[in-house]
Chain A
Amino acid sequence: MSTASSSAQVTEAIVVGVLALQGAFAEHIAILSRLPSQPKVVPRAVKTKDDLIQCRALIIPGGESTTIALLARLAGLLEPLREWVRSGNPTWGTCAGAILLAEAVEGTKAGGQELLGGMNVRIARNGYGSQVESFEAPLDIDGLRDPEKLFPGVFIRAPVVLSIQHPPMRPKPYILARVAADLVPVGSSDYLPDPTDDPTDPQDDRTVVALRQGRCMLTTFHPELTKDTRFHEYFIKEVVCA
């Protein structure tokens, strides 16, 4: 990380958009506003296409993915967002945002739901069950500052990554963090089958809770609900500026 110097001061600030249709967007904006990193990060709430084109990167927050997708369509943002992701702009989805970045989703409302795509994963909405199954778990995340300090993972009606694909011509998916295999809710629904399957395989795709593919990143947990800014620093440094 560069220190503030005359050269850093002339570096243009990075405008990071946070999709502000519904959900925990204010929390992301609050963390982005107090990142210690240089160059300076300027958060921007994105509600329209005009907001989006001002941004160099985008965070899609937690919330209800059905609500966010509907509001995106009504605001004329659905296609611009798909184009944004297709064009390889840096994009990070947390929880509902992770669902929207998936190429396929299970456990949708009747009639299915609209997605942005961008990451070659199949994901299950609300995979762990109702709110009483929400939990916190310390995570060992590859590449964060102070790696010896575990990251507080807050999982709220969280989605479960069911499988990760690597089609030809697509960037290789890169796993950043997993939860312990015994937390994976196998047998809880049609798309999380195999109650007889041994769920203790620590390399099972279903243990993945943070993933990168090209300039897209997803987390099924909520770094924006903690006081720990390291995941946002990682996004700026490794995904946006890399």
Chain B
Amino acid sequence: MQVKSGLAQMLKGGVIMDVVNAEQARIAEEAGACAVMALERVPADIRAEGGVSRMSDPKMIKEIIEAVTIPVMAKVRIGHFVEAQILQAVGVDYIDESEVLTPADEQHHINKHNFKVPFVCGARDLGEALRRIAEGAAFIRTKGEAGTGNVVEAVRHERAVMADIRRASAMSDEELYAFAKELQAPFHLLKETARLKRLPVVNFAAGGIATPADAALMMQLGCDGVFVGSGIFKSGNPAKRARAIVQSVTHFNNPKLLAEISEDLGEPMVGLNIEPTLAGGHFAKRGL
């Protein structure tokens, strides 16, 4: 477990960027990404085009692994443990069991303890995060609402996690037993979280981050780093925006520098409001 969660610890303070080909992966690496997420369509396109979204072609993932020296992650559908076996065989550094793809199992997540490759999973609240860790996730991210360019859901999820951790950290054991029942989370993980006053694994922001200010906001709310999906390569100047977001995660507490970094980045991605009719649906409600 130390080796699995250790890689996530090395990614802290960094930005993980969605890329759809080797060329984008190189742009991300040059811009200072600490890892890339290889996928065939970024969430904004998955949302717009609809249909069933699956694991990417291993050939395309291998091309990206060849193109960069930083860690390469890839997504599998929730519960699709064979896609995960395939990605482990391909040699990816991390697997994202992701609600952005169409779930393969509405009841069960992958038993991630069965794998040597580590997993990251999304969560909307503390209960979800601890259930994923119980299943073997070595790394948690907010679900947010991917492909919207709207940070509101990521903020909601991070605030929910942090608020529950603060509540738990003031509880007696008797109260923690009751709280574990309420959260539907394993008691031992809740107790460890309460003791640490943070999740026992690395916790990144994801789902709707589009600007350096969004990234710094998530860092100030307590995240360890940031995933940016559609926000970079759906913007006017991907290389410049990517570099600015990388800098904003390092200097998240320095408004003067953030002001300089945020200047003249070109058009951000088009944003979508989170409403019942959201095109492509609400990904965050998949796989609780």
The smallest C-beta distance from B185 to any residue of chain A, in angstroms, reads: 25
Kindly state whether residue B88 has any CB partner on chain A within 8 Å.
yes
B2: CB under 8 A from chain A? Answer: yes
Q: How far is the CA of A71 from the CA of B247 in the complex (A)?
A: 7
Cβ–Cβ < 8 Å partners of A129 in chain B: 91
For residue B54, CB closer than 8 A to chain A, the reply is no
Q: When chains A and B are docked, how far (Å) is the Cα of A66 from the Cα of B31?
A: 9
Chain A nearest CB from B147 CB (Å) reads 25
- Interface residues in A68-123 (C-beta closer than 8 Å to B): 70-71, 74-75, 95-96, 107-111
With the chains together, A126 CA to B247 CA distance in Å? Answer: 24
Cβ contact within 8 Å between A27 and B3: no
In the complex, B229 has a CB within 8 A of chain A: no
Q: How many whole Å from B241's CB to the nearest CB in chain A?
A: 14
B-side interface size class: 35 or more
| Binary CB contact string for chain B from 245 to 256 against chain A (1 if under 8 A, 0 otherwise) | 011011100100
Does any Cβ of A come within 8 Å of B7's Cβ? yes
Q: For residue B250, which residues in chain A have a CB less than 8 angstroms away from its CB?
A: 20-22, 47, 71, 75
Chain B residues positioned under 8 Å from A111 (CB to CB): 30
Interface bracket on A: 35 or more
A71's partner among B12, B26, B246, B254 (CB-CB below 8 A) is B246
A47 to B69, CA, bound (A): 24
| CB neighbours of B7 from chain A (8 A) | 131, 134, 156-157
Which residues from B are CB-within-8-Å of A95?
10
Measured between beta carbons, the chain B residues less than 8 angstroms from A62 are 9-10
A130 near B93: Cβ-Cβ < 8 Å: yes
Tell me if A215 counts as interface (CB < 8 A to partner B): no
Binary CB contact string for chain A from 147 to 164 against chain B (1 if under 8 A, 0 otherwise): 000000011110000000
Interfacial chain B residues near A156, Cβ < 8 Å:
3, 6-7, 10
Does residue A222 face the partner (Cβ distance < 8 Å to B)?
yes
Residues of A within 8 A of B65 (CB): 130
Which chain B residues border A24 with CB–CB below 8 Å? 9-10, 12
- A74 CA / B13 CA spacing, docked (Å): 15
- Identify which of residues 28-56 in chain B touch chain A, using a CB-to-CB cut-off of 8 Å: 29-35
Contact A67 B246 (CB under 8 A): yes
Contacts of A185 in B (CB 8 A): none
Q: With the chains together, A228 CA to B83 CA distance in Å?
A: 38
User: Is B180 positioned at the interface, with any CB of A under 8 Å from its CB?
Assistant: no
Within 8 A of B (CB), among A173-217: none
B92 at the interface (CB under 8 A from A): yes
Known: A22-B12, A23-B12. A154 touches B68 (CB 8 A): no
Q: How far is the CA of A134 from the CA of B71 in the complex (A)?
A: 12
**Cα distance, A107 to B92, chains bound together (Å):** 17
Given contacts A64-B34, A131-B71, 10 further A-B contacts (CB under 8 A): A21-B13, A21-B250, A62-B9, A63-B12, A67-B70, A109-B30, A132-B88, A134-B7, A157-B10, A222-B6
